[in-house]
A and B are shown apart, each in its own frame.
Chain A
């Protein structure tokens, strides 16, 4: 069973900041990784698939990188709408524990 570990669990930042969230897999998962954004009371929404491919309609300030066991999600310039919780997921398997992005 592959475990996914995210860090940090909480991140405080300001509008305009560049932020990075890390996700580590307990064993190699190639690039079979997706990133989701979730807002309170809503279902998650996919941002990135195949570790670095941007889902259609998602702003280009979101980017993903990595392969094997270490992955990152970067938001290049935070916008007010980006304050939410972010999850990584190994395809058709476990999620990371989440990173809550808060306004500083």
Chain B
């Protein structure tokens, strides 16, 4: 059973950089899966941020692309999210998730989510 666990600061100052890590257990990050970040501002819907493959290939949401970097650390079986120049609009619960390997690219395993607040 694959498990994902987000970690990182719960409070980030405006104009700073949001940094989160997703630790993967019960499976290898080098499997044939993409690994994804999704966020959810309080009381609103889900926003796809981007994804990474173990080889380092990435895809980003065009609306966030200029500020987002997703990276992978195979030695630690984890992947990370960096979002720079944050504002209050970046306050959200951030989820990491796995894209199911194979033909059907839906999100089959999720972390429980971590709330990040942008405030001075």
Binding partners A and B: yes
Which A residues form the contact surface with B (CB < 8 A)? 1, 32, 34, 36, 38, 42-46, 49-50, 53, 87, 89, 91-98
Contact A98 B46 (CB under 8 A): yes
> For the complex, is B14 an interface residue (Cβ under 8 Å from A)?
no
Neighbouring B residues of A45 by C-beta, 8 Å = 110
> For the complex, is B73 an interface residue (Cβ under 8 Å from A)?
no
Contact A92 B110 (CB under 8 A): no
> Nearest chain A CB to B112's CB is how many angstroms away?
6
List 13 other contacts, CB 8 Å, given A43-B113, A92-B48, A95-B45.
Answer: A1-B62, A1-B63, A32-B105, A38-B46, A44-B46, A44-B95, A49-B104, A49-B106, A87-B46, A92-B36, A94-B61, A95-B38, A95-B48
Q: Which residue among B47, B59, B95, B107 has the maximum number of chain A CB atoms within 10 Å of its CB? A: B107
Chain A minimum-CB-distance residue to B106: A34
> For the complex, is B79 an interface residue (Cβ under 8 Å from A)?
no
Contact B45 A87 (CB under 8 A): yes
Task: Tell which of A32, A34, A44, A94 touches B110, judged by Cβ atoms closer than 8 Å.
Answer: A44
User: How many cross-chain pairs have Cβ atoms below 8 Å apart between A and B?
Assistant: 57
Task: Tell which of A38, A53, A94, A98 touches B48, judged by Cβ atoms closer than 8 Å.
Answer: A94
Q: What are 12 A-to-B residue pairs whose CB atoms are below 8 Å? A: A34-B106, A38-B46, A43-B97, A43-B112, A49-B100, A49-B106, A91-B105, A92-B51, A94-B48, A95-B45, A95-B47, A97-B45
Contact of A92 with B99 at beta-carbon distance under 8 Å, contacts A34-B106, A43-B110, A44-B110 already known: yes
Chain A minimum-CB-distance residue to B104: A49
Neighbouring B residues of A53 by C-beta, 8 Å = 104
Task: Tell which of B34, B108, B113 touches A92, judged by Cβ atoms closer than 8 Å.
Answer: B34
Neighbouring B residues of A36 by C-beta, 8 Å = 46, 107
